[in-house]
Structure 1
Amino acid sequence: MNVLSRAVHRPAKDPVHPQVLPWRGVQRREWIVLAIMPTLLLAGMNSTFTDLARPFVVNELSSDRYRYQWVPGCTLLGSVAGMSLIAWARNHFGLKKAYITGLILFMFGSLACGLAPNMELLGGARFVQGWGNGMVVTTVLAVFWREFPDHRDGAIAAYVLGLYFGRIVAPSVSGYLMNLPTWRTIFFFMVPITSTCTVLTSHLLQPDEPREEALEPFDFEGLLLLLGWVVCLMFGLFRFQKWGWWTANEFWIVSTIGGGLFVWFLLHEWFCPHPLLDLRLFGRLRFALSVVIKALADLTFFSVISVLVRYMAVTRDYERVTTGMVLLPAVVTMASTLALTAWLGTRSDRKLRLILGLTGMVVGTWTLSSIDLYTDKFWTAVYTALWSASAGLVASPLICISQEDMSPAEVASSAGIKNLMLVLPAFVGGNLLTIFIERRSDAHFDAMRQSVTSNRPPLDDVRRDVVDYFMLNGLDVSDATGQARRLLASYTHDYATVFAYQSAFQILAVTLALAIPLAFLLRPLPADATGPQRG
């Protein structure tokens, strides 16, 4: 038996220096990256697809937007469940089996989403799909950390590029797929890609079954507490705006139950001998600071993308493919900075790269607040590309700093925590930002409406010009006047909405600025610490 065969059949756990199998001049772990990247792209796109397809889904399934809210809610709940299981699954089955299981759940969940006949079954299918998605993205982070012990900045850069690239290209891909005979294509096309990746990675990933005879029990209490307070959180974000903030009895009931479950969850996970999530890692200052900074950075990144897509696809009424093309330069600039990180980055300069990236993101986010109703697509693309270039400097060093000097078991647990601190802040921030934009745009609209006097000459001139335009196109005076009134009202509302977008960008910039002083508090590992000096 040769060296490779012994390495593959040995029941080693989390090998530090895995053997490599060259094929056509490419090492085994490079093939692993190529096989895993499509699943990361799908994971990045998956969270956005149902948001973009909402009008089609609501119409075909005879539903409404309030019932539809629970579809992305089920997706979040499934993702939370899948992400929280990584440490337990790694200890019981190994990273390979955990990853393959996640892919299978994602594949069958996607198929079920495409076949769902009503909103209730679509929500259940999205829960299964989200569960698989959560297991996949969390396991990949631990796998990349294990497979590239000598160049972890590059591996994490590939991980970040896959997830973020998927989120940015989602509008273009979904726009193309929804132009096909049915919106269900957005789920069906995932099935062959996921099945192919399942076959490839099952052959490429090394077996890593654990060798412990006595395995810790599953923390059912921790999982139920986690899902319980997340459900309360979703109720709040979906219903408090309707019930009334601070005034409705339902607000206080849901808030009290959710807050109690959250505190119970924290205490249980901290003192439990075998917790679902090892929250004791927050006792390490470097890890705690890194997770908080990452949560602020991810909240800003995904919120900015969400606002930009809404600005272009809804307010400016761009085609979804056009929206994707405007965002495409952002993919190029982010990929470039991530590549530079992978090529030139070292362990010693991670903190510097992080601070520079955070500063650039703050400046870039504030610059985006200058976009108005007349901004050309070219300048929107330029501003977004500059902002995205800075974002590419942040994620890789931040993840590496948080996992420095950790054991394989701690890396698995930290991967679950970091991914939870990605999806939960992004979900909460996105929903709160939507509420803020709606309220802010209504306030701007009321202020603008009250400042308009019907007999002001400029307004009358504009109205007459619009009426004349419609009459030249065949409308009579009555219809042309009505159309002109509606057009001017729509224009005023869009103008007010853009004001709200500008305020949202400014708030996000100020929020992210809080991460910069936290980054200065990060302390590097001592020079004699274990691990590669190279990134």
Structure 2
Amino acid sequence: MNTQPDHIAKAPLTGIRFVLGTFAVALATFMNVLDSSIANVAIPTLSGNLGVSVDEGTWVITLFAAANAVSIPLTGWLTQRVGQVRLFVWAILLFVLSSAACGLAPNLLVLLAARVVQGLVAGPLVPLSQALLLASFPEDKSSNALSLWAMTATVGPIAGPALGGWITDSYNWSWIFYINVPVGLFAAGVIWMVYRDRETPARKLPIDVIGLLSLIAWVASLQIMLDKGKDLDWFNSPVIWVLTIVAAISFLFFLIWEFTEEKPVIDLRLFAGRNFLGGTVAISVAYALFFANLVILPQWIQGYLGYRAVDAGLVTAPLGIFSVMLAPLLGKIMPRSDSRVLATLAFVGFAGVFFMRSRYTTDVDAFTLVLPTLLQGIPTALFFTPLTAIILSGLPPGKIPAAAGLSNFVRIFAGAVGTSLLSTKWSDRTIFHHARLVDQTSVNNPNFIGTIANLQTTLEFSTAKATALFESSLDAQASMLGLNDVFWVSAVIFIVIVPLIWLTRPTRGASAPGAGGH
């Protein structure tokens, strides 16, 4: 679907309007990206304050991502129905309103409902921010517009965890959402003043209601099934069976309907293209691993290493440093390079980073924690832009917006699914290692008896207290071993999916319109 309807192109912005307009659009983009990562380090605190488990608290992240994924394909239809500038401003205002509702939420249910709304209205912000920036710059400077957008979007992972941790420790978790209110109101006001005379025409268009409802049905049921599976003991629960059946039936119906509908909500025929198929699958699987590990790493750092939320944020913050530093260099390299080579280097780099993390121990120091995160910024810089160039290469201009929207939908939904799957994998492997370690805590095991005796002697602990301390240490060790397994599997998968990149045709140069997508 077209995110930019046919209209007479406006002249680029100049002077103070150019400065204010680009700053406000970049600020709105930053607010959106920041909100996708700022909650990561606050999940343990947020969960404790609301009286729920950390697993349930993770829904705050996954439901936002799932709702965001559902709304992205509607951006084209909404743009033509409402107008580009009005839609962007309304999306920002609704994002502000839902952010305030998140901060005021008295319980998890209300918070999750507000996060769903927040995710839905965030969908149009990414493609429309790109479109407005491109319209603000002269045509021969379009690469500068996309570079500015990419750098703004990349700052989010730097600021999000650290800012979220500082706010959570210094004030209250609610303020990670309240912070959006002044930022969003300022951005919306400036954007309306600068861009309102550059509005695109609006016209009434039919929407594929049945396709949309079936999309929501399978996305929602699959996401809930994945999130609740661990708590409900998977397929030993009738609830999980019902959700699985609903997801499967609605997905099959969705496929049949969309392939036969004249104006589908999602153009699935794009997957017939080799580059679109290979590139979308590769970027989606990779993003699922990338995003899921960003979620579970701060949880482990806080839950088992005893770091404060702000410290956990500072450990994960260096991710974006090399991403920002290398963005201008990538813009110069891309026109002379095969995108498949750059993407392959990114995947190999990710595999190396996750292998480094798979060597963590329970007494890991701060430098060893930070180094892989810092290095991860290098493959992150080589990740999004080359794969987006592969996905959009060879498509006619009229298909670019629909292709960008569909690939972003698959990628973001994969991030939500990946978070659920890897969180479950971590829990399962922790239970497995815990059971093996418990087998060693026998009165017939001299190591166990010696450890308890040593605690009693050196620390003057009672038998009960020494045993409790030993069990706490055993829990931390089991969790660490389980997380090591997750990191190792992530590294292997990054290597395994490299051939997907090389099934695509060679792509040199360029970033297509709408490229990006952090």
Q: Is the 8 A contact 2:69 2:410 kept in 1?
A: no
The change in CA–CA distance for 1:115 and 1:384 in structure 2 (over 3 A counts) is closer
1:194 aligns with 2:164: no
CA distance in 2, matches of 1:72, 1:524: 36
Residue of structure 2 equivalent to 1:498: 480
Residue of structure 2 equivalent to 1:41: 30
Q: Is the 8 A contact 2:258 2:265 kept in 1?
A: yes
Q: Is the 8 A contact 2:284 2:411 kept in 1?
A: yes
**Equivalent position SS for 2:318:** helix
The change in CA–CA distance for 1:111 and 1:248 in structure 2 (over 3 A counts) is closer
1:177 aligns with 2:167: yes
Q: Is the 8 A contact 2:12 2:135 kept in 1?
A: no
The change in CA–CA distance for 1:263 and 1:233 in structure 2 (over 3 A counts) is same
CA distance in 2, matches of 1:363, 1:369: 10
Which of 1, 20, 44 is the aligned partner of 2:13? 20
Higher relative contact order (CA 8 A, sep 6+): 2
Read off the aligned partner of 1:13 and give its amino acid letter.
H
1:489 aligns with 2:502: no
Read off the aligned partner of 1:216 and give its amino acid letter.
L
What is the correspondence of 1:143-292 to structure 2 with a 5 Å cutoff? Answer: 143-144=132-133, 150=140, 155-205=145-195, 209-210=199-200, 215-292=204-281
Q: Is the 8 A contact 1:306 1:430 kept in 2?
A: yes
1:311 aligns with 2:281: no
1:375 aligns with 2:369: no
- Give 1:351 deviation, angstroms: 3.1
CA distance in 1, matches of 2:20, 2:393: 25
Read off the aligned partner of 2:488 and give its amino acid letter.
Q
Read off the aligned partner of 1:199 and give its amino acid letter.
G
The change in CA–CA distance for 1:308 and 1:238 in structure 2 (over 3 A counts) is closer
Residue of structure 2 equivalent to 1:8: none
CA distance in 2, matches of 1:120, 1:92: 32
1:441 aligns with 2:430: yes
TM-score by length of 2: 0.87
**Equivalent position SS for 1:346:** helix
The change in CA–CA distance for 1:18 and 1:368 in structure 2 (over 3 A counts) is farther
Q: Is the 8 A contact 1:278 1:413 kept in 2?
A: yes
Residue of structure 1 equivalent to 2:379: 390
TM-score by length of 1: 0.85
The change in CA–CA distance for 1:372 and 1:156 in structure 2 (over 3 A counts) is farther
What is the correspondence of 1:62-81 to structure 2 with a 5 Å cutoff? Answer: 71-72=60-61, 74-81=63-70
Q: Is the 8 A contact 1:144 1:155 kept in 2?
A: yes
**Equivalent position SS for 1:237:** helix
Residue of structure 2 equivalent to 1:361: 350
The change in CA–CA distance for 1:171 and 1:466 in structure 2 (over 3 A counts) is farther
CA distance in 1, matches of 2:275, 2:94: 34
**Equivalent position SS for 1:371:** coil
CA-to-aligned-CA distance 1:431-487 (integer Å, 9 cap, x gap): 11111111111111111221234365544443344334544xxxxx53xx3332222
- Give 1:276 deviation, angstroms: 1.6
Percent pairwise identity? 24
Of stretches 494-503 and 91-100 in structure 1, the one that deviates more from structure 2 is 91-100
Q: Is the 8 A contact 2:39 2:164 kept in 1?
A: no
Q: Is the 8 A contact 1:301 1:391 kept in 2?
A: no
The change in CA–CA distance for 1:467 and 1:526 in structure 2 (over 3 A counts) is closer
Structure 1 unaligned residues grouped into runs of 5+: 1-10, 472-476
Residue of structure 1 equivalent to 2:491: 509
Structure 2 unaligned residues grouped into runs of 5+: none
CA distance in 1, matches of 2:512, 2:220: 40
Of stretches 386-395 and 344-353 in structure 1, the one that deviates more from structure 2 is 344-353
CA distance in 2, matches of 1:530, 1:495: 46
What is the correspondence of 1:44-55 to structure 2 with a 5 Å cutoff? Answer: 44-50=33-39, 52-55=41-44
1:96 aligns with 2:53: no
Read off the aligned partner of 1:171 and give its amino acid letter.
P
- Give 1:500 deviation, angstroms: 1.2
- Give 1:430 deviation, angstroms: 1.0
Read off the aligned partner of 2:210 and give its amino acid letter.
E
